[in-house]
A and B are shown apart, each in its own frame.
Chain A
């Protein structure tokens, strides 16, 4: 016991100092979990996940979209991975995400936007049916952003849900394909790594 006390007396201040140094680095943004995740390459700054309780990570959403089939396809696919529960907002929850539609001829299929208050997913009426496989793909992709996954720009990922474009082409105009409407092994890998 005497030896143990002796060691504690010496180690405690040193350990404390190390802890203080680590804490000084953490607020400065030099040592944060998001950095460790970002180094993997496929995670964004933000998400719509409510992590108030660690045992119940969830996204409570309100829907104002006409693309209900696409929405539930996305919810079921992401929920099947089991780490974050995406569910309809109810009287007991605070809305984390609102989903609605707009119309613009800017070539966007849709996007997720983090905001003060509830985040938003917006789906573009104007072009959504020309976005590869359509609403199922677009909502699945945007819900991926709500789960902290970012766009993939590298061509080697051009058959994943989180690819930047809904359609990719090879060298010829007729050599084009839609991104899939199901989660690929890479999308699943990114989700599992993050959550």
Chain B
């Protein structure tokens, strides 16, 4: 009986310790993740993973789908006008920037355009929503844009998330981007899938 009593007492003490540690741990994780305490909601970011129509990592397909491709310098953020959806009250975040066009690779954009990026602040939640983690553009950045002109909205929409907004880290980098895209533009295409075609490697990945 003595042994049993001692063991039971140990077990109870351990259980108390265990619960305490668990509670403290949950509070700590909540603070770190910003899921509740300690982090203001406006500081949170959330990625979305769209399915893209084409393989936009291939410059030829990116240029093929885009109406206007150009190197430009971001001068200022000029808007945060989202676009609506059929879900009541839904507004998809977008952010607009003024861009000075420097080198045109495709299309006929004017000298200054408004570019709309598919990222921005969700007005419902205060979260910054990013397409696959692609950060918001910053004034002063030089960027190789692949866009589609949307006259109804008055802006040029970036195609393919980060694929359509390649940042140049230097003047040399910008020149290299222009050369790369000029070469790709020669062979630009929009993919047309062959109906019913199944590639040879289908089913190989498990």
Give the interface of A toward B (CB within 8 A).
Answer: 5-6, 8-9, 12-13, 15-17, 19-20, 23-24, 26-29, 44, 64-66, 98-117, 120, 122, 127, 130-132, 138, 141-142, 145, 150-151, 154, 156-160, 164-170, 173-174, 176-178, 184-186, 189
Q: Which of A99, A107, A154 contacts B52 (CB 8 A)?
A: A107
Q: Check A164/B87 contact, CB under 8 A, given A20-B14, A29-B29.
A: no
Q: Is the CB of B198 within 8 A of A115?
A: no
Q: Check A23/B55 contact, CB under 8 A, given A9-B3, A112-B49, A177-B194.
A: no
A residues in contact with B28, CB < 8 Å: 27-28
Q: Is the CB of B52 within 8 A of A164?
A: yes
CA distance in complex: A16, B20 (Å): 13
B residues in contact with A115, CB < 8 Å: 46, 122, 124-125
A residues in contact with B198, CB < 8 Å: 159, 177
Give the interface of B toward A (CB within 8 A).
Answer: 3-4, 6-7, 10-11, 13-15, 17-18, 21-22, 24-26, 28-29, 46, 48-56, 58, 60-61, 65, 83-88, 90, 92, 118, 122, 124-125, 129, 131, 148, 150, 157-161, 164, 187, 189, 191-194, 197-199, 201-206
Number of residue pairs spanning A and B whose beta carbons lie under 8 angstroms apart = 211
- Interchain nearest-CB distance for A143 vs B (Å): 11
- 20 residue pairs bridging A and B, Cβ less than 8 Å apart: A16-B14, A102-B86, A105-B150, A105-B159, A106-B160, A107-B160, A113-B46, A114-B46, A115-B125, A122-B92, A131-B53, A132-B193, A156-B204, A157-B205, A159-B201, A164-B51, A165-B53, A165-B55, A167-B53, A184-B203
Describe B's contact surface by its main secondary structure: mixed
B residues in contact with A20, CB < 8 Å: 14, 17-18, 21
Describe A's contact surface by its main secondary structure: mixed
Q: Check A26/B25 contact, CB under 8 A, given A106-B160, A132-B193, A177-B199.
A: yes
Q: Is the CB of B10 within 8 A of A13?
A: yes
Q: Which of A15, A138, A150 contacts B49 (CB 8 A)?
A: A150
